Chain A
Amino acid sequence: MEIVMSIVAGILFMAATYLMLSRSLLRIIIGTGLLSHGAHLLLLTMGGLKRGAAPLLGEKASSYTDALPQALILTAIVISFGVTSFLLVLAYRAYQELGTDDMDKLRGNENHE
């Protein structure tokens, strides 16, 4: 199962890299979304996908899944959620002010502010 998950995470990283190298800002932001999905799936996979009960003591199971990676992922998810919403609003604002979402046209030099 870990093999399958690793391949899936790899495909997500591949798609994210491809999207982040494109010119449109919105595609880049979609790429960052896929990148964080890939990272979170990888974190879950690397914690081990052995079978066990959900980490709730009420389950009274003989073995549980590892609770630590789930806590890490939850933290990473809210952080990337905050950053993504900030980036989306920034992209909106930049579109209003600069009038373009083309990263090549955003490349400015000192002469025009």
Chain B
Amino acid sequence: MNNLVILPLIIPLITGIILMFLKDHVRLQKTVSVISFLITIGLSAALVQTVYKKGIQMHELGDWPAPFGIVLVADLFSSLLVFTASIVSFCCVLFAFRSIGKEREKFFFYAFVQFLVTGVIGAFLTGDIFNLFVFFEVMLMSSYVLIVLGGTKIQLRESIKYILVNIISSALFVIAVGYLYSVTGTLNMADLSVRISEVNQPGILTVIAILFLIVFGLKGAIFPLYFWLPGSYEAPPASVTALFGALLTKVGVYSIFRTFTLLFYHDQSFTHTIIGYMALLTIIIGAVGAIAYWDIKKILIYNIIIAVGVILYGVTLATPEGLTGAIYYLLHDMVIKGALFLLAGAMIVITGTSKIKEMGGLIKRHPLLGWMFFLAVIALAGIPPLSGFVGKLLLLQSGLETENYTFVAVLLISSLLVLYSVMKIFINCFWREPRLSAEQEKGSTKGLLYPPFMLLILSIFMGVGAEWIYPYVAEAAQTLSDPSIYIHSVLKE
């Protein structure tokens, strides 16, 4: 019983409710948002430290014991994700202060961001599979509103498709939970894990596992289920895309990690092989898209898909090092995707377009933006002093140890293609002859560069200070690779 677990979840919720009453007071809305995010970040940092020192923390809602009530469980994996998610969303909101515009601010923009964060953090912390569904819906409904808020034609068109795909995947989630309940008779994840290992995962449970893979794959955009993502993420403003790109797909990936390390790990030769191939194809499809387009947003969106594939393969490596690498890469990717989308947003503010061929020579008047973009680019590709390197190195190492040479080859080649695709943006937009004179620029970057700067500092710290972060991530991977630790601390047997 520990109230610290529920606080990072309840503070954004209460803030969202308060913000709904402050419709016309934009300044007050901003102040309240900042204060609430600072509190959330502080509390989630405290949560990480507590879990690291004292082991898995949990909160039984309403004092009902574990299999009967809903529990919130914070192991190191979920609390690290909560911490990173709150930092990234804080930076996205800071970016929105300058870029989102009065029209959207007056129509509950900040309130919906808070509800989105509530859904994401809730999905990370919950220990109950139906409660996971509910938090998914909290997150998705806020994302529906954020994607359409403003009501331009492209937003209306893309949001219809986005909502349809998510309604179908939510119905599949309900169906999968129904099947799982009829086989096992419980909804608590730890209890489910115990019961599944008692019957040693017969065929029907493997079918349900694949159904869950389809559901979470639709949320997380893995290969044949990624088709909705490129269009939908292009429609909303930059700060919303950054929020989505950094958080939403990662919740799907987190759920796959949770279900396939805690619940369905008995028939690995079947399920994990399928996940492995899907992950490889996801990387390939993402790489094809990333090099094909001459549009900043499209290139970065396909880079999300590549990263999802890379992280997902970590589940199939099933060694503590492989999981460590995947978690490290997951944390790094949330930070760096946030930074990249915000920097791209700043470039679009300056030039008024997202087409690479209509930009050029931005570095003349915006050197800071240019070099920050360069840093973000090499961090994304995994150049040694920066954060992308450690995760990829660990993944490569365990790929070689478990003799998954295809994965190693695909990962290395994809890193090259990622570097090419984002370097293409850098060379064509920042070098060459300037296209726009100072008067022709559509907007200024005043105040827009602090949030991505904070994320970049974090990214550099994650690379240079890997020695401080590694023990946390390794501990998180340890808990993931041994489900009994999770089960014992939830069910207290």
- Interface residues, chain A, with chain B CB atoms under 8 Å away: 20, 25, 28, 32, 35-36, 38-40, 42-43, 45-48, 68-69, 72, 75-76, 79-80, 82-83, 86-87, 90-91, 93-94, 97-98, 106, 108, 110, 113
Q: Is the CB of B175 within 8 A of A39?
A: yes
| B134 and A42 contact, CB distance less than 8 A | no
CB <8 Å contact, B177 and A72: yes
Q: Which of B137, B156, B178 contacts A93 (CB 8 A)?
A: B156
Q: How far in angstroms is the closest Cβ of chain B from A68? A: 8
Q: How far apart sit A54 and B242, CA to CA, in the bound complex (Å)? A: 49
Q: Which residues of B contact A113 (CB under 8 A)?
A: 152-154
Residues of chain B within 8 A of A93, CB atoms compared: 151, 156
List, in ascending order, chain A residues with CB within 8 A of B145's CB.
86
Asked if A39 contacts B171 (CB within 8 A), the reply is yes
* A92, B321: Cα distance in complex, Å: 52
Is the CB–CB distance between A98 and B179 below 8 Å?
no
B409 at the interface (CB under 8 A from A): no
- Given the known interface contacts A35-B167, A47-B181, the answer about A98 and B141 at a Cβ–Cβ threshold of 8 Å is no
- With beta carbons under 8 angstroms apart, the residue of B175, B179, B182 that contacts A48 is B182
Say yes or no: A32 contacts B148, CB within 8 Å. Answer: no
A97 touches B156 (CB 8 A): yes
Question: Given A28-B164, A35-B168, are A106 and B157 also a contact pair (CB < 8 Å)?
Answer: yes
Known: A20-B168, A46-B182. 11 other contacts (CB 8 A): A35-B167, A36-B167, A36-B174, A43-B177, A46-B181, A47-B178, A68-B187, A91-B160, A97-B156, A98-B156, A106-B157
Contact across chains for A40 and B151 when beta carbons are under 8 A apart? no
Chain B residues with CB under 8 Å of chain A are 130, 133-134, 137, 141, 144-145, 148, 151-154, 156-157, 159-160, 163-164, 167-168, 170-171, 174-175, 177-179, 181-182, 187, 295
Assess whether A82 is in contact with B141, with CB atoms less than 8 Å apart.
yes
* Beta-carbon contact of B163 and A69 below 8 Å: no
In the assembled complex, the Cα of A79 lies from the Cα of B160 at a distance in Å of 18
Chain B residues positioned under 8 Å from A87 (CB to CB): 160, 163-164, 167
Q: How far is the CB of B71 from chain A (nearest CB, A)?
A: 16
Residue of A nearest to B354 (CB): A110
CB of B295 within 8 A of CB of A98, answer: no
Residues of chain B contacted by A25 (CB below 8 angstroms): 160
| Contact assessment for B153 and A97 in the assembled complex, using a CB-CB cutoff below 8 Å | yes
Asked if A72 and B144 sit within 8 Å, CB to CB, the answer is no
In the bound assembly, the distance between CA atoms of A112 and B159 in angstroms comes to 17
Query: What CA separation (Å) do A113 and B160 show in the bound complex?
Result: 15
* B-side interface mostly: helix
- A86 near B141 with CB under 8 A, answer yes
CB distance from A28 to the nearest CB of B (A): 7
Complex CA–CA separation, A83 to B148 (angstroms): 14
A45–B181 Cα gap in the complex (Å)?
Answer: 11
Minimum Cβ distance to chain B for residue A14 (Å): 14
With a cutoff of 8 Å between Cβ atoms, the chain A residues found around residue B159 in the complex are 90
A76: B residues at CB distance < 8 A: 133, 174
A58 to B289, alpha carbons, bound, how many Å?
62
Closest residue of B by beta carbon distance from A94: B156
A contact residues around B182 at 8 Å (CB): 46-48
Cα distance A90–B156 when bound, in Å? 7
Contacts of B187 in A (CB 8 A): 68
A80 to B148: give the CA distance in the assembly, Å: 19
The one of A35, A36, A42, A110 that contacts B178, using a Cβ cutoff of 8 Å? A42
Does A90 lie within 8 Å of B179, measured CB to CB? no
CA distance A111 to B238 in the complex (A): 20
Minimum CB–CB distance from B394 to chain A (whole Å) comes to 39
- Cα A90 to Cα B167 with chains together (Å): 14
- Could you tell me the distance in whole angstroms from the C-beta of A33 to the nearest C-beta in chain B? 10
Q: How far is the CA of A38 from the CA of B156 in the complex (A)?
A: 28
> Smallest distance from the beta carbon of B9 to chain A beta carbons, Å?
18
Cβ-defined contact, B171 with A36, below 8 A: yes
Inter-subunit contact A79/B156 (CB<8 Å): no
Residue of A nearest to B138 (CB): A79
Q: With A87-B163, A106-B160 as known contacts, state yes or no: A35 contacts B153, CB within 8 Å.
A: no
Contact: A98 with B153, CB < 8 Å? yes
| In contact, A86 and B144 (Cβ under 8 angstroms) | yes
Q: Whole-angstrom distance between the alpha carbons of A95 and B79 in the complex? A: 43
Smallest CB separation, A69 vs chain B (Å): 7
Q: How far is the CB of A4 from chain B (nearest CB, A)?
A: 16
How many Å lie between the Cα of A36 and that of B173 in the bound state? 11
B130 touches A72 (CB 8 A): yes
